[in-house]
Amino acid sequence: MAAITDNLSGYKDRVRRWVHELSPTNSFWSETFITQQLNVNYRRRCAQLTMAHEGYFVNVATRDITADQERYAWPPGFERILKMELIRSDNTRVIVQRNERHFQPNPANTVAQGRDNYYPTYRPVSGGFVLEPTPGTSVTDGLRIEYGGLPAALDADGDSWHVDFPRSLDELVILDTVVACLDSENLLETGSIRTVARMRQEFELDWERYIDGRIEGPNMIEPFNPHYSDA
C-alpha cells in the first residue's frame, strides 16, 4: 500500500478510501467537490480551535498611526482581536484597552502629542476600529495587533494543514468530508431536505459561538449613567 502523504493530495486519497472510490475517474465525487468539502470542514474545525482561546492560528500585524486619522482597518484575515499595543520609540509596548463611550464627548485631539505620550483607547467598528483620542502624530508601525485568523484554504495538491492544526485529530476532518460526500449522494437520490437542515443547524451553533467571542480582551466599558443626577 502506498504511503499517504500529509498534503491535499493525500487527504483526498484518505477520503476516497472511506467511500471506496480510489480513482476520481468516473467517480460520483469529483476532485473539485472533495477539495471543496475538505476546505469547508478544515476551516470550520480551525474556527472552532480559534474559539477555544488557546492561541491557535495567532497572527501579528502592525499598523501605521496617521496624524488626524481616527479610524483604521483590521488586518487581512482578521477573526478575533487578542491584543493591541502601542510601540514606543524604545520598542517597549503598551496595551491599548477597549473603551465604549455612551454619553461622554469624543476626546479632543492633542496636536502636540508625541509618540511616547500618546495613550488612546480603541473601540471596534465595522471592518476595523477607532482610536480615541485621534492621534496628533504619525508613527510608522506604531500599533502592534495580535489576532486570530483562519489559515488559508488548501488549493494545490502539495498544500498541508496549518502547523497549529493537531495532526492527531486530523482524521476528524477526513470523516467530516466523507459524511459530506455521502450526504450529497443521499440528497441526489432521495431529495431529502433533512440532511441540509442538519448541516445548517451545526453551522448555526458554530455561528453563535463565533458571535459570543467576536471581540475579546481587557475591556473598559463605561455604564449608562444618567445625564444628570441631583446631588
pLDDT surpassing 80 at residue 230: no
In sequence order, what DSSP letters do the residues of 17-73 get, joined into one string? HHHT----TT-SS-HHHHHHHHHHHHHHHHHHHHTTTS-TTEEEEEEEE-TT--EEE
* The residue to which cell 455561528 is assigned: 207
**What is the edge-to-edge ordering of all strands in the sheet holding 71-73?**
71-73, 128-132, 121-125, 98-100, 219-221
- H or E stretch including 121? strand 121-125
Digit-coded pLDDT (tens) for 157-198: 999 999 999 999 999 999 999 999 988 887 776 766 666 777
Q: Which residues pair with 98 in a beta bridge?
A: 122, 219
Give domain limits for the chain.
8-53+151-192, 58-149
Q: What angle do CA 156, 161, 167 make, to 5 degrees?
A: 145
pLDDT surpassing 70 at residue 85: yes
Phi, psi of 171 (to 5 degrees): -65, -20
The confidence score (pLDDT) of residue 220 equals 54
Mean of the per-residue pLDDT values of the chain: 85
User: What is the rounded distance in angstroms from the CA atom of residue 117 to the CA atom of residue 73?
Assistant: 23
Note the pTM of the prediction, 2 decimals: 0.74
Q: Are 60 and 149 in contact (CB under 8 A)?
A: no
pLDDT surpassing 90 at residue 9: yes
The confidence score (pLDDT) of residue 187 equals 76
Digit-coded pLDDT (tens) for 14-27: 999 999 988 888 88
Digit-coded pLDDT (tens) for 114-154: 788 899 999 999 899 999 999 988 999 999 999 988 899 99
Q: Are 90 and 160 in contact (CB under 8 A)?
A: no
